[in-house]
Amino acid sequence: MSKSVRNFVETLLSERGKSADFTDSDALFTSGLLDSMAATELMIYLETEFGLDLADPDFDISRLDTIDDLKGLLSEMV
């Protein structure tokens, strides 16, 4: 599960001409590596692939910041 999320993040990075060389604890969005439109793509991916409901207006987008965060989110919500 986390491998496919990682692959998706790698695709987002390569589409933006950035290196896919990052660790599970590296910040993706708050570091400026990925932008807000990439966050939208990631949210749609998580919703469609894993059935997560991230549409809650109070959802804090910083919970998507690292692969570790995403793993935690998936284990909590799936």
Start-to-end Cα distance in the chain: 11
Total number of residues binding another protein (CB under 8 A)? Answer: 22
Cβ pair 47, 53 in contact under 8 A: yes
Q: Contact region for another protein (CB under 8 A) — 2-10, 18-26, 53-61, 66-74?
A: 53-61
**Binding residue for another protein (CB under 8 A) from 4, 15, 26, 49?**
15
Q: How far is the CB of 57 from another protein (least distance, A)?
A: 5
Cβ pair 32, 38 in contact under 8 A: no
* Sign, CA torsion 3/36/69/14: positive
- Residue 22 has phi, psi (to 5 degrees) of -150, 155
* Nearer to another protein (CB atom), residue 5 or residue 33: 33
Residue 37 binding another protein, by CB under 8 A = yes
Which residues make up the interface to another protein (CB under 8 A)? 15-17, 27, 30, 32, 35-37, 40, 43-44, 48, 54-62
